[in-house]
Structure 1
């Protein structure tokens, strides 16, 4: 997989199980948590289980990039 750098505009663009990348402006990116999997989609936020730390955090869709399949 590779990052397409296409960031979301709305939470409905994301689906549970989808791979995402975190925007470089977030503290999680700076701490090495750059990729994860969507576990919950709300009306305005997306919950993502991050790969490196295993934490589940909520993000604004603008701070998540869609991942393209190889």
Structure 2
């Protein structure tokens, strides 16, 4: 996967994305309304090749079928 963005890093095993969330905080003061900008940075990581889960799902479905037959 090739992503051309300064906020994305990909090393072949995982992808990391940085997201900047901006919002304003409003406060009432004696002088009036005060606005303070705030910025929060979120980092999201995901594996490009997740671990296999097919075996677990198959076992779970098999057990559910057996209990429903009773």
TM-score (norm 1): 0.30
Q: Which structure shows the bigger proportion of residues in helix conformation?
A: 2
Instruction: Please tell me whether Structure 1 or Structure 2 has the larger radius of gyration of its CA atoms.
Output: 2
> More strand by proportion, 1 or 2?
2
